[in-house]
Structure 1
């Protein structure tokens, strides 16, 4: 039997660092961190779940299996992840890229222990919450050790440019309007502490959908700024990002960069295309007439970049199950392009490696309140500790107006926080 207890904290950040290191004894860890940026739809400042009592792991028939799993556990907090390549289950698509990381296509679990932070309080739900609080409080944070990895680019700059020009040829033929072209950066023989890397990444690039996930020897260290899809009180919320610019050196320069983004026909056009795509996806799960773009072209400023974000909402139709809502909208339109199926086909043909968890989603189902919240896995490191293989992708929208040099530099900008967390730079 699990009971809940709470305690006051002197230092929330130190306690959550201790909690992460304490959690290392378990094979299953999920940690979501809003970094104090939670919005009207966010339910948690920070929440950790560890040790699977029940789990769902699948590589095929994922959505039907997940729906059955959720129906078995109707009063639980259930975290997990979905691979981008579940697109192949939703549409008649194939992934031909090599998979070095070997994550399952989907994994969710019912935790034995759940820890939630709210203000200066920590709430622990477990069989013996007091003992867990004491164990975490007594945990020593190990001294940070240097990280040494040899990061390489899967594509040379000329190979990226060739793929970019291929996409633009499709656009000019009228096959698609926009494609989110992605490239992989990787390190072999990488020995790193996932907890230390995540801590560094979150310090360098704090974001509202930051997360850490462990499944055996598989790790996800995410600094995602993007919400894929949430449900709260019967309303569905999607917040795609399209439009990225580097931060300025001072407040005046930042204001000029933001003004330039809002004047940019290219940035606005990219954002509008994805907003229309998301609106179309949501109509399959919505009460008729309720889909609306409630906020357009908002600029949110993070430590590394400015992002253009729009918000689309609707009321969920009562006959549509939560898993079907995910199925009807997955993967995130901001990571595909438009039209969606054609864009995904082109990405499969051009990209050198399977995306896997990248461009997929990490989040949770709250079956107690019939709600959920999922991010888009971007600005994220994926690590197979057993194979010592570390990987991350970056990408950007290619349109008819896009410039190869600009888009390539945007990929490097998006990679900068991850590279800094690893204490390294790219090897040409």
Structure 2
């Protein structure tokens, strides 16, 4: 069933409000960003027809079986700690969220919005449309402020970066992504209200509202992890961040400085090399190429340096295997990949969980698209635990003070929405 949508924002708000009453919902919004690899503007998967929950060990095999049994639309998430299944790694840092490492569901209802039309895929499409039309939007403009605590003080963070750079000096690693958690205990929030406000304050091309029972992923991610379009795989790692300026001329200068900044270029090219290497595991020989290098893309608060790496997928290699071959994404690990992940387990003070993982979908034609879970609030409403991670790339030339400020810059939209400070 395809219906015209006169007021796109209103329709999406009503649809999401209705969807959020179900045990599971995955809302993916491109926020009208121009994306040559996007298949739609918004996707809303609603209700559980079938599901799979798995922990690191044989999670990808379980998902492979689930996919075979559910060849239509499925949506879900991969947690960062699936690394422990792929490599000889472990995770022992504290975890306040207790999310599974992997969760996917086949929806009862699906809404795909493209332009000014919505396709409703359901056993009773008219009932879905009527339920959406009947929604009376709740006013969520006033929310109690939530103050986030930090796992690291500024000085502790700087000391940790100094320690990491000693490993770089010794040649143990070249670059890594060092992450810190901001969190709140006994936190009571309205997840739908928080996401609505976050998506308004910081609209991004891979924004996500994901609910699974008491667990929520509220994301404003600008980054694509991996997509499949036909036989083509696409990865778009982000490395390089600069704060936007209100003045147009000053903002343009910031863009030029980012485009020519030696450290940011070094970070980006090292991760591009890593992504190219990861893609070779799934690619037909000789097809891996960098489609765009050092592209500058502008968002609400920041300019980002984004590169695009593509390849042709090997014949008979499954979509799930292609994802596993590149997971976790290089932009959130470092190089060499395994050494960086091992080292960050020593320096970080919290389990990453879904942060640094991916949320997305597989479609009936076996295409897929997954984001990188960054700029994202994670919330366990049963435990009343709220978590937000921020990270930055540490290289030989990194300035610890500036990297700390970059973490705060990445947290700016979330802090604004929560109304509190770290």
Query: What TM-score comes out, normalization by structure 2 length?
Result: 0.98
Aligned equivalent of 2:253? 256
Aligned equivalent of 2:267? 270
- Give structure 2 stretches of 5+ with no counterpart: none
Q: Distance in 2 between matches of 1:224 and 1:360?
A: 11
Aligned equivalent of 1:347? 344
Secondary structure (helix, strand or coil) at the match of 1:313 reads strand
Cα offsets for 1:319-368 (capped at 9, x unmatched): 321111111100010001100000000110110000000000000111x2
Q: Distance in 1 between matches of 2:325 and 2:236?
A: 16
Cα offsets for 1:66-96 (capped at 9, x unmatched): 111111122x111000000000000000101
Secondary structure (helix, strand or coil) at the match of 2:383 reads coil
Q: Distance in 2 between matches of 1:226 and 1:177?
A: 22
Secondary structure (helix, strand or coil) at the match of 1:276 reads helix
Q: How does 1:75-224 map to 2 (within 5 A)?
A: 76-144=72-140, 145-224=142-221
- Indicate which of 9, 13, 19 corresponds to 1:17: 13
Aligned equivalent of 1:324? 321
Instruction: Answer whether contact 1:247 1:304 (CA < 8 A) is retained.
Output: yes
Instruction: Answer whether contact 2:147 2:418 (CA < 8 A) is retained.
Output: no
Instruction: Note the aligned Cα RMSD (angstroms).
Output: 0.8
Give the number of aligned pairs: 420
Instruction: Answer whether contact 2:181 2:390 (CA < 8 A) is retained.
Output: yes
Instruction: Answer whether contact 1:150 1:188 (CA < 8 A) is retained.
Output: no
Task: State whether structure 2 residue 390 is matched by structure 1 residue 394.
Answer: yes
Cα offsets for 1:348-400 (capped at 9, x unmatched): 0110000000000000111x212110000000000000011000100000000
Aligned equivalent of 1:375? 371
Task: State whether structure 2 residue 22 is matched by structure 1 residue 26.
Answer: yes
Deviation at 1:10, TM superposition (A): 2.0
Cα offsets for 1:91-110 (capped at 9, x unmatched): 00010101110101000111
Secondary structure (helix, strand or coil) at the match of 1:48 reads strand
Instruction: Answer whether contact 2:230 2:367 (CA < 8 A) is retained.
Output: yes
- Indicate which of 407, 411, 415 corresponds to 1:415: 411
Aligned equivalent of 2:380? 384
Secondary structure (helix, strand or coil) at the match of 1:49 reads strand
Deviation at 1:215, TM superposition (A): 0.3
Deviation at 1:133, TM superposition (A): 0.8
Cα offsets for 1:224-269 (capped at 9, x unmatched): 0000000001100000000000001121111101111111111100
Deviation at 1:210, TM superposition (A): 0.5
Q: Which moved more, 1:264-273 or 1:147-156?
A: 147-156
Q: Distance in 2 between matches of 1:376 and 1:172?
A: 29
Instruction: Answer whether contact 1:190 1:389 (CA < 8 A) is retained.
Output: yes
Instruction: Answer whether contact 2:147 2:419 (CA < 8 A) is retained.
Output: no
Cα offsets for 1:130-170 (capped at 9, x unmatched): 12111111111111132321211111111111111111010
Instruction: Answer whether contact 1:38 1:45 (CA < 8 A) is retained.
Output: no
Deviation at 1:120, TM superposition (A): 1.5
Task: State whether structure 2 residue 394 is matched by structure 1 residue 403.
Answer: no
Q: Which moved more, 1:59-68 or 1:279-288?
A: 59-68
Aligned equivalent of 1:70? 67
Deviation at 1:421, TM superposition (A): 1.2
Cα offsets for 1:51-77 (capped at 9, x unmatched): 111111101310111111111122x11
Q: Distance in 1 between matches of 2:301 and 2:192?
A: 21
- Indicate which of 304, 307, 312 corresponds to 1:310: 307
